[in-house]
A and B are shown apart, each in its own frame.
Chain A
Amino acid sequence: MSLITGLEAAAQEVGTDAAVVEGRSQWQLTWRRLRHDKVAIAALLVILVMIVLATCAPAFVAITHHPPNIAYPNTGETAAGNPVPPGTAGFWLGTDGTGRDLFIRILYGARISLFVGFVTTAIGTLAGVAVGLIAGYFGGIVDTVLARFTDAVLAFPYVVLALALAVVLGPSLTVIVGVISFFSWAAIARIVRGQTLSIKEKEYIEAARSLGAGPFRIMFLDILPNLLAPVLVLATLYIPTAVVFEATLSYLGLGIQPPTASWGDILSDAQNFYQVAWWYVVFPAAALLITTLAFNLLGDGIRDAMDPRTERVFAARRGRGQRRRQRADQPPVISSGSGVPGADLLATPEGSD
């Protein structure tokens, strides 16, 4: 959100005064609509909880006295050497294959996943916005080169390249962040370019040019604020993709290396134990699922809230009960003139959800 607040601040750089009548900004309106979207708010809460848990992972270590990479062969493993189930000997979610605290490891995995998700999305979004703006605004040969490069990146079999890079450069967090970032800017660049092409024909861009504004001032102060809505939605939807991508690479052993905890690693190890320790598979998988789902739902919610037309949907939803009652009082309206059977049924407004 710092990107947004920064730009908002830039847009109103002239400064604000409490005494001055305040106009409602796009973000205030969006938030007003988002607040009524229960699913999006729930998703936002889940994400916030996940972030708090990840940040406070060391605090949980202090409580449980189970550092993430320490194995407890005596208390954390059964006599047969299998993981102990949840709740045993202070292991809230049980232990993993080597007797480490699964809960703590999932928390530390969340740190990696969220870090990779946010950082790669931030890099990809910044790069995508920059490339898209420059290609769209300058046009001509600049556009041709950048747009074709974007197409090339989009056409690349990215899993193959990611695997190859991880093998060649050796798996590490830096390589993962680099690879995922590299593949996340192109789609954003393409959308930003398209929007820029349409916005730069607007009269207010010509007005800015007639005032003597330079290309970068126009790109960042006049065009970018109009693009933030689609970019924010895209970025929110990119985070879960990056999270899953990181998990996939780690699962394949090409991402985060043991003993550092990562959801992909945990799941990879867990497949040896799924018959004896359901918790070993279920909890990290659930963490991955819940996180990605929450980001996706939040992204959808933001997209709906950004669209001014959805105001009517919410208004209709609120007024629906009332209207139903009204409808019951009135005699059914038979649509005249249309000989199609059931046409009046089809014509019933909002017959179903």
Chain B
Amino acid sequence: MSALPVEGPADDDVLVRVDHLVKHFPVRSSGLIRRTVAQVQAVEDVSLSIPRGKTLGLVGETGSGKSTLARCVAGLIPVTSGRVTFNGRDITNLSRRAMRPVRREIQMIFQDPYSSLNPRRRVGSIIGDPFAIHKTATGAERKRQVQELMERVGLNPEHYNRFPAEFSGGQRQRIGVARALALRPQLIICDEPVSALDVSIQAQVLNLLTDLQQDYGLTYLFIAHDLEVVRHVSDTVAVMYLGRIGESGPKGPLYESPRHPYTAALLSAAPAADPDAAAGRQRIILRGDVPSPIDPPSGCRFHPRCPKAQPLCAEAEPQLEAKAGDPATHLTACHFPVETGENLATATAATPAAGGSELI
């Protein structure tokens, strides 16, 4: 897996590079002597890079390891192996002290606007936290900057002394955005920033994020399970399944002609805004559930659920590489990539692979 999903830009244009990142969580037995009995393979050999000022959308269902990947990049949890490079500097598993200056450059926006704000602290204090922690502004100056931030993200600066509970979900997420923006970071990791919000509010927050990116030249690592949201904000998209990247590439080609059967299935399942377009397509229904990351399937991790699976898929791990006629930026980890225009829904019926076919 030497190939990187995005290889186009030169190295100094790449803000974040992740090389062969692996994150395992030990499963310990209960009791006094806690032996490690298994490993949850949350992230397995993931490589990606984000060009400066661009947005990488990371898609995957619950448990695919996207949030774990984000926390590894943010340096919130130690990495099992692999490397995270930020601005050309290796920031893998830095000590808290060494990480401190890097923290100013990498900020996070969290999924849950309710639990990501301390209910006992006033909004001004929450947004002022970055200034207090990094001692960049104090007293009246801090307050002025906080109120400026509040105004920038569309909050009333007069609500400085309110508590988070007095705001709506969308407003709370704006508070989270203001906090992430406070130190003018280069990279903001958005961990499903809108999935807890109403659809109408989602658009407002997404537009705010887009505006901020233009104004401040921000780079986003944007995590979501909503494909339409990702399409709206991303330049490149990576699809994760069970800790691995299945397909990645510029959003246009990836959405137009998905190569990985999993991407194709996800896209076919996404609700379409246009009912006419929805009527003309067939949904690919996957068999079974996502297997446990403690004991992932051999070979291609997607093979037990794949409509195109062949015996080879269970044996050999497919490499992430450009497939038939794709540009070098569009990479797929699949032995039998989907052809443009191929109908997977019929492929499902034609190839009843071993086991679970009655579920279709």
Given the interface pairs A13-B132, A207-B116, A211-B179, the reply to whether A23 lies near B122 with Cβ below 8 Å is: yes
How many Å lie between the Cα of A17 and that of B107 in the bound state? 29
Residues of B112-129 contacting chain A, CB below 8 A: 112, 115-125, 128-129
Flag if A225 contacts B120 (CB, 8 Å). yes
* Interfacial chain B residues near A21, Cβ < 8 Å: 156, 158-162
How many Å lie between the Cα of A222 and that of B120 in the bound state? 8
Q: Distance (Å) between the CB of A213 and the closest chain B CB?
A: 5
Flag if B107 contacts A203 (CB, 8 Å). no
How many Å lie between the Cα of A3 and that of B112 in the bound state? 31
Flag if B160 contacts A217 (CB, 8 Å). no
* CB of A226 within 8 Å of the partner chain: yes
* Interfacial chain B residues near A217, Cβ < 8 Å: 133
* CB of A16 within 8 Å of the partner chain: yes
Proximity string of chain B (94-123) to chain A, C-beta cutoff 8 Å, 1 when within and 0 when not:
001001100110111011100111111111
* Interfacial chain A residues near B119, Cβ < 8 Å: 226
Flag if A12 contacts B122 (CB, 8 Å). yes
* Interfacial chain A residues near B158, Cβ < 8 Å: 19-21
Flag if B116 contacts A204 (CB, 8 Å). yes
Given the interface pairs A210-B108, A211-B133, the reply to whether A24 lies near B163 with Cβ below 8 Å is: yes
Q: Distance (Å) between the CB of A177 and the closest chain B CB?
A: 31
Closest to B108 in A: A210
* Interfacial chain B residues near A16, Cβ < 8 Å: 161
How many Å lie between the Cα of A206 and that of B132 in the bound state? 17
Flag if B163 contacts A206 (CB, 8 Å). no
* CB of B139 within 8 Å of the partner chain: yes
* CB of A320 within 8 Å of the partner chain: no
* Interfacial chain B residues near A157, Cβ < 8 Å: none
How many Å lie between the Cα of A202 and that of B113 in the bound state? 11
Flag if B121 contacts A225 (CB, 8 Å). yes
Given the interface pairs A13-B125, A14-B146, A212-B134, the reply to whether A204 lies near B115 with Cβ below 8 Å is: yes
Q: Distance (Å) between the CB of B265 and the closest chain A CB?
A: 30
* Interfacial chain A residues near B176, Cβ < 8 Å: 207
Tell which of A20, A202, A206, A209 touches B160, judged by Cβ atoms closer than 8 Å: A20
Flag if B125 contacts A226 (CB, 8 Å). no
Q: Distance (Å) between the CB of A243 and the closest chain B CB?
A: 31
Flag if A204 contacts B118 (CB, 8 Å). yes
Given the interface pairs A210-B76, A211-B179, A212-B134, the reply to whether A23 lies near B161 with Cβ below 8 Å is: yes
How many Å lie between the Cα of A17 and that of B139 in the bound state? 12
How many Å lie between the Cα of A204 and that of B120 in the bound state? 11
Given the interface pairs A12-B124, A217-B133, the reply to whether A212 lies near B104 with Cβ below 8 Å is: yes
How many Å lie between the Cα of A226 and that of B120 in the bound state? 6
Proximity string of chain A (79-111) to chain B, C-beta cutoff 8 Å, 1 when within and 0 when not:
000000000000000000000000000000000
Given the interface pairs A23-B161, A226-B119, the reply to whether A203 lies near B111 with Cβ below 8 Å is: yes
Tell which of B99, B106, B125, B162 touches A11, judged by Cβ atoms closer than 8 Å: B125
Given the interface pairs A13-B125, A225-B121, the reply to whether A207 lies near B110 with Cβ below 8 Å is: yes
* Interfacial chain A residues near B120, Cβ < 8 Å: 11, 26, 225-226, 228
How many Å lie between the Cα of A225 and that of B121 in the bound state? 8
* CB of B74 within 8 Å of the partner chain: yes
* CB of B259 within 8 Å of the partner chain: no
Q: Distance (Å) between the CB of A205 and the closest chain B CB?
A: 8
Closest to B122 in A: A12
Given the interface pairs A13-B125, A15-B143, A23-B162, the reply to whether A210 lies near B107 with Cβ below 8 Å is: yes
Closest to B160 in A: A20
* Interfacial chain A residues near B146, Cβ < 8 Å: 14
* CB of B250 within 8 Å of the partner chain: no
* CB of B359 within 8 Å of the partner chain: no
* CB of A208 within 8 Å of the partner chain: yes
* Interfacial chain A residues near B125, Cβ < 8 Å: 11-14
Proximity string of chain B (41-68) to chain A, C-beta cutoff 8 Å, 1 when within and 0 when not:
0000000000000000000000000000
* Interfacial chain B residues near A174, Cβ < 8 Å: none
Closest to B107 in A: A210
* CB of B350 within 8 Å of the partner chain: no
* CB of B330 within 8 Å of the partner chain: no
* Interfacial chain A residues near B110, Cβ < 8 Å: 203, 206-207
* CB of B130 within 8 Å of the partner chain: yes
Q: Distance (Å) between the CB of B92 and the closest chain A CB?
A: 16
How many Å lie between the Cα of A221 and that of B122 in the bound state? 12
Flag if A211 contacts B118 (CB, 8 Å). no
How many Å lie between the Cα of A23 and that of B121 in the bound state? 10
* CB of A2 within 8 Å of the partner chain: no
Flag if A212 contacts B179 (CB, 8 Å). no
Q: Distance (Å) between the CB of B98 and the closest chain A CB?
A: 11
How many Å lie between the Cα of A16 and that of B119 in the bound state? 18
Q: Distance (Å) between the CB of B4 and the closest chain A CB?
A: 25
Residues of A2-43 contacting chain B, CB below 8 A: 11-17, 19-26
* Interfacial chain A residues near B108, Cβ < 8 Å: 206-207, 210
Residues of B within 8 A of A (CB): 74, 76, 96, 99-100, 103-104, 106-108, 110-112, 115-125, 128-130, 132-134, 139-140, 142-143, 146, 156, 158-163, 166, 176, 179
9 contacts between A and B (CB under 8 A): A19-B158, A22-B161, A25-B163, A204-B118, A207-B108, A208-B118, A208-B129, A210-B108, A211-B103
The 4 closest A-B pairs by CB, nearest first: A23-B162, A212-B103, A225-B120, A203-B116
Residues of A within 8 A of B (CB): 11-17, 19-26, 202-204, 206-214, 217, 221-222, 225-226, 228
In the complex, besides A20-B161, A25-B163, 5 extra interface pairs with C-beta distance below 8 angstroms are: A22-B161, A206-B76, A211-B130, A211-B133, A213-B129
